[in-house]
Amino acid sequence: RNSHEYWGFSAGLDFERKTLVKHNAAQLLEQEFRKSSYQPDLIMLSGNTDCYQPIERKLGITRSLLELMVKYQHPVSIISKNVLMRRDFDLLRELAARNLVSVAVTINSLREEVRQKMEPRTATASARLKLIEGLAGIGVPVMLMMAPIVPGINSDEISDLIRSGADAGAITASYTIVRLNGQIGGIFKDWLYQNYPDRAEKVLHWIEACHGGKINDTDFGRRIKGDGHMAESLQHLFKLSVKKYMNNGTLPSLRRDLFRLPDAGTQLGLF
């Protein structure tokens, strides 16, 4: 992630090996909740990184945040690819019973050889599908997130991924097309030529075709789904598959009206 450079680390190996930890995250969040000016709105856990990466097993920061969501009855949405989330099913079940949580589980390939190349040291696709099944079983609305879709690498799996996600209990799906901004472009090219030398040039050409003729794309409206014939073809396949296997389902709106202070008699902050 290019965001790692902000802290003086590289966007490649450092992002994989060095984790920045906010030990007092729960304390800071509770301070916000208790301000008299606070208005509850959806909080997203993950997005830039994964809130269930391995160190969470030891630190329990994500669990402490979810405990606050239960305590204050606050809506929360989670994106993750890690099955450690099962540890927190007790909290997620409580939140789901009040329509206070939804989860997006990321799977970008059903082929194990592709997963090992794209996301080494992560849970297998079958384990993530079982996670979706488990979440659905405790009442959590689940989205299948396919990210990133790389033309020529895993783009042929969109329909199969959506079907498998739906069979496991996901009610909707989303995807992003790979974009290679900043240092990520060079890192990706090295990875691509090392793992797929036979098609590297074609893959780069297809990525450029999705992003206005270049591999990096900062255009907000285009960088997620892309544009051009290749991107339109992928989007068409995605829409057909979501309609066929998920009946064009959507995640429910989470409740914001249940938020409360557990001890209303405590003096609130001024700001």
Domain ranges of the chain: 1-102, 107-126+135-249
Q: pLDDT by residue (tens digit) across 142-162?
A: 999 999 999 999 999 999 999
pTM to 2 decimals? 0.90
SS (H, E, C) the chain: CHHHHHHCCCCCHHHHHCCCCCCCHHHHHHHHHCECCCCCCCEEECCCCCCCCCCHHHHCHHHHHHHHHHHHCCCEEEEECCHHHHHHHHHHHHHHHCCCEEEEEECCCCCHHHHHHHCCCCCCHHHHHHHHHHHHHCCCCEEEEEEEECCCCCHHHHHHHHHHHHHHCCCEEEEEECCCCCCHHHHHHHHHHHHCCCCHHHHHHHHHHHCCCCCCCCCCCCCCCCCHHHHHHHHHHHHHHHHHHHCCCCCCCCCCCCCCCCCCCCCCECC
Identify which has the larger pLDDT, 270 or 262: 262
The predicted structure's pLDDT at residue 271: 44
Q: pLDDT by residue (tens digit) across 65-116?
A: 999 999 999 999 999 999 999 999 999 999 999 999 999 999 999 999 999 9
The predicted structure's pLDDT at residue 61: 98
Q: pLDDT by residue (tens digit) across 5-58?
A: 656 665 556 566 678 899 999 999 999 999 999 999 999 998 778 999 999 999
